[in-house]
Structure 1
């Protein structure tokens, strides 16, 4: 009896897999052919833009799906655009087919029912994803099959070892370093992603991590964040331009590091420094590092709006972005250097070799990864930061 039950279960599993494969081929691949996908993604990094252009060429060549990269600076404004379309009754002809999102915006889209899906579990390349990475949650919010992982990254600082051989390894050391090097330290102004993430990084180190995995409680927000504001009040007078103005983004900081204005820059990709060196943006003596107690790390995703017009094409492109070919190219520091979300052990031997040839991601292997706070903390912190420091 048990043998027949197990045999029947095996047949059911195999049949389900066949059905899923047939569904993907007939209902997704066939409809995707000839579609145009408007991919809304941050356009502030030349290496990333070039990678997306390459991926777009591959998608059109291999699957007949045309990708148009719509370069954006503020993802939240795009989410507002999608929300406005949905409220206006635009159900199938939305302008956004695929969007590169962070946890804050994913949480908002999920809460407002702005996401198509679930669809991620049907992707043929989902089977290769490393399930030990936080691919099932985004800033503590369950992804529920509504967004597909694209890459893994971690907050880091960049310095030049000929100028700064002993960089600060904690929030308190950063404050001392700024006092010793007035005008040569700063960070991007929130709501820039890098600036907001650095604020969260400082908050976790100053106030501890355990309080921030749950949604913001307005009753305790002021008490939990006051140590952060006290710290920034001490730090800002020693920043570039006395903290009265801030760089717009990390790219500005890289240029300021290169010309000697700053002694530190910021990134959310530990391998970006190698790419910047290869492009001769930074000298060969530049390096990335993290605070000794850890740096915030996460997985970044792509999602399909509920009113996208090319949902099938978007799924095909998302699946290609998860392919061993695309993930290995993305992880190459000469191309982008973004960490893979695939588990090499799950790959066929030939595909596994693609990753064996890549440089090791040394910083991500050596610096502890701190979990992202709940998604509600980022907008709350940004709002309070702007009240205190944004209008000087």
Structure 2
């Protein structure tokens, strides 16, 4: 590990030490104190993706803090697909289990949130009662709408995400920072780019990004897709992919299985460009020796798709107060700074830095990795298309490219 990376690691450790001495946002209201009192001794069954060691370790840390500060037990129920959690809560409602549900808090966004909300499976609105929500930009469209579904207080923001590309600067002179330039790069450098096959989340996100850059009327993406007009409206997308695929890795005859394989292929020099939905992933991979130090990150000039992921409380939770305290703690400067730190997770914060004290802002200083992430200004964030577009995109993609 070079000297610059060692310095970064030292800063991360220093920030971690400082974290222990910074207090949470004031929990001053009598109503919130009643919530804190009721939460004591409760156990929160937190259903969250369990496929990342760093994420699992972060949730364990949060559990230790919640126990020490609030006498709350946090039990991480590791899931592989949040849709299964939605189905379980729906089954409990159908069976009349309106109390003592098996889920107290769930990591959720997008289509799963819409399903929970439409089926009246959520407790709330509750997020406006969380003291630390005031530390976010409560007017941000990515915090008030989840894949075009109004949040309306039924979930609390936890982290940010934005489609971010990265390239090996030893092999690529200039980042192809648009869909058009990416196609030109592939034409000049065949075999050096690919993306995971749909319905992989990252593969679908890449295709949605290309759709957002090629569709003639972007405003269409904010509303429900019209199946009868879908092929006409997405004609430019399929024309683009028809051109791109023969120029990709293995001539588009096969696709990487997931975004982890894409990263491995970049590290092995089989690909020169990769992408992720976490702006800090490439920097973290460099720090951990999973990518060469010559890797640089970038976003498309006109913006890339971004969203916020949330936590929500099911309607039949038996630990609603403790779930609210947990959601509030996850929004605290300490928890958000640790989560944003690439030594621990690297998940972007949802806090508005202008609303933080200088002491709270200092927690985030160790995450400024300009040497590894020169494109740390993420520019415009393109909104996620309405969730109804996804099913149509994935079905058409499979018909065109997997049935051949």
- Provide TM-score, normalisation by structure 2: 0.85
Q: 1:68 aligns with which of 75, 80, 89?
A: 75
Q: Does 1:292 align with 2:301?
A: yes
> Which residue matches 1:258?
267
Distance 1:353 1:68, change over 3 A: same
Instruction: Say how many residue pairs are matched.
Output: 374
Question: Structure 1 residues 78, 147: closer, same or farther in 2, change over 3 A?
Answer: same
Paired residue for 2:337? 328
Counterpart for residue 377 of structure 1: 389
Contact persistence 2:297–2:374 (CA under 8 A):
no
Return the alpha-carbon distance in structure 2 between the equivalents of residues 210 and 89 of structure 1.
Answer: 41
Q: Which residue of 2 aligns with 1:4?
A: none
Structure 1: give runs of 5+ residues left out of the alignment. Answer: 1-17
Contact 2:82 2:108 in 1 (8 A): yes
User: How far apart are the structure 2 equivalents of 1:363 and 1:95?
Assistant: 42
Q: Secondary structure at the match of 2:29?
A: helix
Q: Give the Å deviation of 1:42.
A: 2.5
**2:45 maps to which of 38, 49, 52:** 38
2 CA distance for matches of 1:275 and 1:112?
39
Pairwise CA distance, 1:20: 8.8
Which SS does the other structure have where 1:317 is aligned? helix
Q: Any conservation in 2 of the 1:45–1:251 contact (CA below 8 Å)? A: no
The answer as to whether partners of 1:206 and 1:227 remain within 8 angstroms in 2 is yes
Deviations 1:147-171 (A, max 9, x none): 1011222111121111223232221
Identify if the C-alpha distance between structure 1 residues 191 and 114 changes in structure 2 by more than 3 Å, giving closer, same or farther.
Answer: farther
Partner of 1:243 in structure 2? 252
Relative to structure 2, which stretch is displaced further, 325-334 or 174-183? 174-183
Displacement, 1:146?
A: 0.3
| 1:369 CA drift (Å) | 1.6
Supply the distance in 2 between the matched residues of 1:271 and 1:262 (Cα, whole angstroms). Answer: 19
Where 1:228 maps in the other structure, the secondary structure is helix
User: In structure 2, which of residues 111, 119, 134 is the aligned counterpart of residue 112 of structure 1?
Assistant: 119
Structure 1 residues 309 and 256: CA distance shift in structure 2, 3 A? farther
Partner of 2:208: 200
Aligned to 1:276: 285
Q: 1:110 to 1:231 in 2, by over 3 A?
A: same
Asked if the contact 2:40–2:322 (Cα under 8 Å) also holds between the matched residues in 1, the reply is: yes
Q: How far apart are 1:349 and its partner, in Å? A: 4.1
Is residue 125–residue 322 contact of structure 1 (8 Å, CA) maintained in 2?
yes
For 1:139 and 1:84, locate their aligned partners in 2 and report how far apart those are by CA, in whole Å. Answer: 24
* Shift, 1:276, TM fit: 1.2
- Change in Cα spacing, 1:240 to 1:72, as seen in structure 2 (3 Å) is farther
Mapped to 1, the partners of 2:231 and 2:28 lie a distance apart of 50
Change (3 A) 1:87 1:244: farther
5 Å matches for 1:1-392?
21-26=29-34, 28-134=35-141, 135-208=143-216, 209-356=218-365, 358-359=367-368, 363=375, 365-391=377-403
Give secondary structure in 2 for the equivalent of 1:191.
Answer: coil
Deviations 1:218-255 (A, max 9, x none): 23212111221222222223333443433332222212
What SS class does the counterpart of residue 364 from structure 2 fall into? helix
What's the CA shift for 1:47? 2.9
Distance 2:56 2:317 in 1: 22
SS at match of 1:365: coil
* SS of match in other structure, 1:58: helix
